[in-house]
Structures are given as structure tokens and as C-alpha cells.
Amino acid sequence: MKQKLRQRLRFRLKHKVILAFLLCIVLPFIVVGWVSAYVALNTIKEEVGSTTLQLVKQNHVTIDKTLSAVNDRTITLLDSQFFSNPEGYSFWTGIDTLNEIRQADNILDSWSTGGTEYAIYMKNIERRATPFDLSYKTKGFKYLDGFSGGLPDLNVSLMDVSGAGALRVMPSGSGETTISFMRNILNPRNYNEVIGLLAVNKIEVMLTRDLVSVELPAAAGAFLFNTSGELLMSTGAGSIIPGELGKHLEPDVPYGYTFAQEGGEEWLYAYSDSSRFHTRLLYKIPLESITGKLIWFQRLLVVISFIFLAFVLTFVLYMVRLVVRPVVELVAVMKIYEPGKKLLLSEEPLRQDEFGILQGSFVRMTRRLDHSIEENYGMQLKQKEYELLMLQSQITPHYLYNTLDSIYWYALDSGNTEVGEMVRDLSMLLRIGLSRGRKMITVGEELEHAQAYTRLQTKRYPDTFEVRWQIDDELREYETPKVIIQPLIENAILHGVRGMDGEGEIRVSAVQSEGALRFIVEDNGHLPVDLAELAAILEAEQSAKGYGIRNVHQRIRLHYGEAYGLAYERSGDGWTRAVITLPLKRAGAEAAGTDL
């Protein structure tokens, strides 16, 4: 029977320790780590997208400046040769001799700079007969008979009748394609009539310089399109297939970026549109080339973290076996011990450590209790001290579990956006609650502990209640048992103001009254409170509930005697009031210490 009892106790305590480790350390670590990694990755992606978009915009501005320079030269050319020169119209529409053709070619050659080639294609309005065939020419002057044949005819119908410039992909004389900046030549006598076409060929010579000025990652590409969706030019090792633009980009948004899956890989698309020259510059970059090292580093951290957790779990299991097992066996013996009843226990310790010493001391103590009333009285005193230590050790897990539960539900409700502040308050709760084993702390520390708890609860129950503090600052250096205000605030929230939808109010006061220190916690809870039942709970007449407040009351009495403790009453305005009365005593070295 005794062996079964020991096995049952060992099983329960061991698994409680393991379960506490998993719930309080492993689970929060995994949740916080996963959420942090997820948020960090998305933040990095957004930062990369935003930065790349700014780079695209700047690059597009550079391209627009280059096109603006070409556009200004074409305007100057047309103005000097057609609009400000009365003889220009007659010259360019009446060329029919070799000398006039050479003169026109020389004029256009003088305008060709930076590797570009200027060409003018005129309607043969007067049906001039040139001395030789001009159809082979890709620069200089050339007649187009009714725009029905020749190099740029496929694009003439798409040109702006107002004379504005546009970019087109054109075949060159070598059989390859070239980028041309084209604009219609309007009749200076009738602006509604198009009489020719001015083309600046080989614009890619100038644009390539602007595109290659930006160094792209491997497999990335930069692509320049015109209004017709034609790919004018590209740079980099990347490629793009028809349909990608309409599939991944918003048609009516002038600039932006997006992430999309293509070819089994995630890509960053960043683009910018120019309304002046109707072009679109697109960067297509594999996300792996930017965030690959960071993702690898995050995964390495996750692996290291799990290895560390496995090591800690192994250590916890070892400590459970080393510490909990002898404690459970000792507790089992204590359960069956009765004063005056002999136990066949050896005084020789089973182990040569602190637990062996504890076992020998217990044996000697039981024998002293059997033979001496004075030692029996001493044992009672030790038992009181033991009960006090047990009460203090039990209160910390009690409020710790409640607090962690609040953080857990708040994280689910709010998306974990304020977890930093909550963890900070939780750290304060642990620091002050544990206090390196100290029994007494200062009033200031106790109030910090209570305020940290209330901040967590206001996040758990937003817009439900508010807490007002009325503190006599002169009392902050006085002595108080630790963790006596928090259970009262917890009761006020759970049984008073939790469901009041913003109308709840809790008042916490620390005052000096009649030579004593008083902590007062009041709430305007809408639920009726039975003061007689609360008094019965404090006196341990009802043990099924009220563990927190009974613990506070008993600890105060164990420290200071029955003249002090906790009492409930109803205030003049109908609020429920909890009053803690303590002796007015300045804190000593034990209570004034600081936990780091």
C-alpha cells in the first residue's frame, strides 16, 4: 500500500513539473519565436519591396531625363527646319535632286549625336521623282508614298496626331531591331495634317547606359516597355514571359511592387510608369537572392533554439529525478507519521547530499517529538515556518498562471502587437514576486508589482475598466509582505468590473491611519457581494474557493499576529472595499534589496 502511494505521488509531481516546463517555457518560446520570425520576414520583404521601388523610380527618372534631352532636340530640330523657317516646308516637301538629298542627310547627320541616328520620312505630296531608290535608307531623308510602305509604316497609325513623341521597336538595316523615338511632323500651315515622321533611331545606346548603372542580383532583370506593351529593352540575366505584367501588376496603378510565385520561385516585381513618355520600367528580382542569407540565418537560429530546449528539457528531467523523487519519498513518510508512533527508520542517510541530511534530520526530529514535549513545541514552531514558506511558494505559481493566461488570450485577440510591453510587465511581476526568496519587500516594490499586473489586465480587458491610484509617497519605504495587493485587484476584476463595458473603476490606496499602514482596494462591481461569505473564506470556514485572499490574510497574521490582516466592507457609496492593515514599520535590509 505504501509503495503504491509513493509511486502515485512520484508520478503526479514529476509530470506536473514537466507539464509546467512545457507550458511556461517551451510553448511561449515556440509561439513567440514563430510569430517573431513571421513578422520579421514580412517586415524585411516590405522593406526590400519599398527600397527596390524607390530604386526603380530613381532609375526611371534618369531614363526620362535622357528621353527629355532627345525630345528637346527633336523639338528644336522641327522648329528650326519647319516652323520658324518659312522655306523649310518647301525644302523638305520638294526634294528631288541628289544635291538636295545630300543636303537633307547632312542636316540630319549634324543632329545625330551619342550614337543615335536621325531620320525624316516625308509624304511625297508633290509626287517627286528622286534620282535613285531611297527605300534602303534607315537614316537621313526618305520619302514615304502615302505611308503605305517603308520602315516605320506599321507605327504611323499609332502616333499622336498632336506631334508628341513615343518610343517604338523598329527593324534596323542589319535585320535586328532598334528603339526609335518617333514623332509626327505636322503641317505648319495646318496642324491637323501630318506631313511626315521624325525618328531618332538607336535610342538604346543612350538608355542602356541608364539601365546598366543599377547593379542587379543574379537571375534578376530590368525591363522597359512602351504603351503598346512592347518590350523595348532589358538588362540582366532575368527574363519575362508574355502575360506576367497583367497577371501580377495592377493596370491602373502608376507605381508599386508585389510578390508573386512564378516558376516555383517567389519573385519581387517593382515597377514605375512614366506619363510623359508612356513607358513602364519593371524590375523582376528573385526574392531568394535578397533574403536568402537572412532566411538561412533564421532557420539556423530555430535549429539552435530547439537543440537548446532539448538540452534544457533533459536537464529538467535530471533535476526531477535528483530532487523531486527524494522529496516525494520524504513527503510519503511524513503523511503516515503520527507523534508517538514509532517508525522503523534508519538514521543512516541513503544519500550523501542535502537530501540525505534532510532525511537524517527528519528521523532525529521524529524521535525527539516522541520523547520530549519541549521538542514537540519546537516542532510546532518549525511547522509554522514551513507552512509560511509553503504559502509563499504557492502564491507565485497561482498568480503566474493567471497572468500567463491573460497574456495568452490577449495575444490571440490583438494579433500580438503589444507583446513587448506585456513581457516587460510580466518580467516585473516575476522579479518582484520571486524577490530572490525574500519574504518582505518595500511598499514601493509591492505597488510596482500591482501596477504591472493592472497594466496587463487592462490589455486583457480593453476599454472595460480603469484603475485609479492614491498613494502616500512617504509610505514607499515601509515594509510589507510581498504579493498581497495583486490578489485583491484580481478579485476586483474577475468578480467585479470585468463585464462592465468601460464603466468599471478600481481605486487602490496606500494610506497611514491610526498608526497603521492600510492598503485599500475598492471597486464599483455590478455583482452583489456577500460580506459574510467573504469573512467565512478569510477564516478558512470555506475552503472550496477564495484561495488568493485567504492566503493573503493568513500570511499577514503569521507575520504580525491576529491584530492585523484583511477585511472586507462596503463603502459609503456602495462600492466593495478590501482593507489590508499592517503595522507601520520601516523596511530593513532584507526588504530594501534590489533583484537584478
Burial of residue 522 (CB within 10 Å: 0-12, 13-18, 19+) is: buried
Residue 271 in any domain: the answer is yes
Let me know whether 107 and 209 are in one domain.
yes
Residue 353 in any domain: the answer is no
Closest CA to 267 of 275, 277, 257: 257
- Under DSSP, the state recorded for 510 is E
pLDDT of residue 158: 43
Give the number of other CB atoms < 10 A from CB of residue 392.
Answer: 20
Which residues are registered as beta bridge partners of 519? 510, 580
Let me know whether 416 and 540 are in one domain.
yes
Distance CA 592, CA 436 (A): 12
Domain extent, residue 595, equals 372-596
Task: Single out the residue in 303, 327, 358 at which a domain terminates.
Answer: 303
Strands (E), 240-347: 255-262, 265-274, 279-286
Q: Under DSSP, is residue 567 helix (H, G, I), strand (E, B) or coil?
A: strand
Structural element, H or E, at residue 442: strand 440-442
Give how many domains the chain has, as a whole number. Answer: 2
Task: Single out the residue in 250, 277, 303 at which a domain terminates.
Answer: 303
Residue that the C-alpha cell 527593324 belongs to:
171
Let me know whether 265 and 413 are in one domain.
no
Give the number of other CB atoms < 10 A from CB of residue 28.
Answer: 16
In one-letter notation, the amino acid at residue 92 is W
pLDDT of residue 124: 80
Closest CA to 528 of 489, 566, 568, 488: 568
| Cα–Cα distance list, 280 to 106, 231, 253, 269 (Å) | 34, 10, 11, 12
| Sign for the pseudo-dihedral over CA of 390, 391, 392, 393 | positive
What nine digits make up the cell of 273? Answer: 510608369
Largest CA distance in the chain: 142
Structural element, H or E, at residue 166: strand 166-171
Q: Residue 120: what are its φ and ψ, rounded to 5°?
A: -120, 125
Residue 466 in any domain: the answer is yes
Let me know whether 210 and 289 are in one domain.
yes
DSSP of 174-239: TSSEEEEEEEEEEETTEEEEEEEEEEEE-THHHHHHHHTTSPPPTT-EEEEE-TT--EEEEEES--
Let me know whether 93 and 174 are in one domain.
yes
CA 161 to chain centre: 53
Let me know whether 530 and 424 are in one domain.
yes
What nine digits make up the cell of 374? Answer: 519541549
Which residues are registered as beta bridge partners of 523? 506, 576
Residue 485 CA neighbour count, 13 Å, CB half: 30
Let me know whether 274 and 417 are in one domain.
no
Residues in contact with 310: Cβ distance below 8 Å, sequence separation at least 6, in sequence order: none
Residue 515 in any domain: the answer is yes
Let me know whether 138 and 226 are in one domain.
yes
CB 101 within 8 A of CB 124: no
| Cα–Cα distance list, 570 to 79, 135, 519, 523, 574 (Å) | 96, 107, 15, 10, 6
Residue 100 in any domain: the answer is yes
Let me know whether 292 and 379 are in one domain.
no
What nine digits make up the cell of 530? Answer: 456577500
Distance CA 489, CA 532 (A): 20
Structural element, H or E, at residue 523: strand 516-523
What nine digits make up the cell of 42? Answer: 514580412
In one-letter notation, the amino acid at residue 152 is P
pLDDT of residue 307: 85
Residue 84 in any domain: the answer is yes
| Cα–Cα distance list, 251 to 244, 245, 282, 331, 465 (Å) | 12, 8, 13, 76, 49
Give the number of other CB atoms < 10 A from CB of residue 436.
Answer: 10
What nine digits make up the cell of 99? Answer: 544635291
Residue 21 in any domain: the answer is no
Residue 33 in any domain: the answer is no
Whole-model pTM: value is: 0.47
Let me know whether 230 and 120 are in one domain.
yes
What nine digits make up the cell of 203? Answer: 535610342
Q: Under DSSP, is residue 434 helix (H, G, I), strand (E, B) or coil?
A: helix
- Own/partner contacts of 91-99, CB < 8 Å, gap of 24 or more, are 92/120, 92/122, 92/141, 92/196, 93/122, 93/123, 93/125, 93/126, 93/195, 94/126, 94/128, 95/122, 95/128, 95/130, 95/141, 95/143, 96/128, 96/129, 96/130, 96/131, 97/131, 98/131, 98/132
| Cα–Cα distance list, 459 to 33, 413, 495 (Å) | 21, 10, 18
CB 595 within 8 A of CB 488: no
What nine digits make up the cell of 123? Answer: 509624304
CATH of the domain at 562: 3.30.565.10
pLDDT in single tens digits along all 596 residues of the chain: 455 545 554 456 666 767 777 777 777 777 777 777 677 777 888 888 898 889 889 999 998 898 898 888 888 888 888 878 777 778 888 888 889 889 988 988 988 887 888 989 888 877 777 777 777 777 888 887 654 434 444 444 444 445 567 888 887 766 678 888 888 888 887 877 888 888 898 888 888 888 877 778 888 888 998 877 788 888 888 888 767 777 777 777 888 888 888 777 888 899 898 888 888 899 888 888 777 666 677 777 778 877 887 887 787 777 777 776 677 677 777 776 666 566 666 555 556 666 667 767 767 777 666 666 555 555 566 666 656 665 665 555 556 656 656 666 666 677 676 666 776 677 667 767 666 667 789 999 999 999 988 988 888 888 888 999 999 999 999 999 989 999 999 988 888 888 887 788 999 999 998 889 999 999 988 777 888 888 888 887 666 677 888 889 998 998 898 889 999 998 878 899 999 999 998 877 454 444 43
Distance CA 62, CA 78 (A): 25
Let me know whether 403 and 493 are in one domain.
yes
Let me know whether 85 and 228 are in one domain.
yes
Q: Under DSSP, is residue 140 helix (H, G, I), strand (E, B) or coil?
A: strand
Residue that the C-alpha cell 532636340 belongs to:
73
Total count of residues recorded for the chain: 596
In one-letter notation, the amino acid at residue 308 is F
Residues in contact with 83: Cβ distance below 8 Å, sequence separation at least 6, in sequence order: 188
Task: Single out the residue in 247, 276, 303 at which a domain terminates.
Answer: 303
pLDDT of residue 355: 66
Distance CA 424, CA 419 (A): 8
Closest CA to 387 of 536, 553, 558: 558
